Amino acid sequence: MLLYIALAASLVAILLAWRAGKKNNELQERIAQVNSRVYHLRREMQESLQQAQQERLKLKFELLKLQGNLHLTGDMRVGEIYAAHPQAQQVLAGFHIGGCASCAVDDRQTLAEAVALSGRDLEPVLVALNGLVANGDGQIPPEMLQMPNVQLQL
């Protein structure tokens, strides 16, 4: 009789373990779904933020243009821009225009040509460069040195 009780208890324990394992698998699947959704929402948020920043820079470009404070233009040669401010090369490198072997530019190219070859928009680059020249204190604001394709998310 004791043997039957022990056998029944072990069957109940096996059934409970199986049920707990099944529930654990369901919960892990739900966690994976939630993590996937969080990842996609974070990515959408980053894209929206980048679009908003691009729009802000375009508006700032138009404002500088209307005010007549646009000192550096897309028609200038990259070498002339480097000569205009010692840290202009760092600003361009922040947009991946020059600064490394894979995104090198010729000093004789116009800024517009260099920007077009890198697949970037000209207006944000001009805003950053003209902000650097207008700033004059040698400090580069962090938003000018963004490196969009080098962001790490941990």
Q: What is the DSSP string of the chain?
A: -HHHHHHHHHHHHHHHHHHHHHHHHHHHHHHHHHHHHHHHHHHHHHHHHHHHHHHHHHHHHHHHHHHT---S-TTSBHHHHHHH-TTHHHHHHHTTSSSSGGG---TTSBHHHHHHHHT--HHHHHHHHHHHHHH-SSPPPGGGG--GGG----
Confidence of residue 108 (pLDDT cuts 50, 70, 90): confident
Tens-place pLDDT, residues 109-147: 889 998 888 888 888 888 888 877 665 554 555 554 444
Q: Give yes or no for residue 77 having a pLDDT over 60.
A: yes
**CA neighbor of 126 nearest in space, from 62, 66, 48:** 62
Statement: the pTM of the whole predicted model exceeds 0.75: no
Residue matched to tokens 């072997």: 101
Share of the chain above pLDDT 90, in %: 29
Tell me how far apart the alpha carbons of residues 16 and 133 are, in angstroms, rounded to a whole number: 72
Tell me how far apart the alpha carbons of residues 15 and 13 are, in angstroms, rounded to a whole number: 5
* pLDDT for the residue numbered 150: 43
Domains in the chain (CATH in brackets) are 2-150 (1.10.3910.10)
**CA neighbor of 27 nearest in space, from 121, 19, 5:** 19
Q: What tokens does 16 get?
A: 């409970």
Handedness of CA 118, 123, 129, 131 (dihedral sign): negative
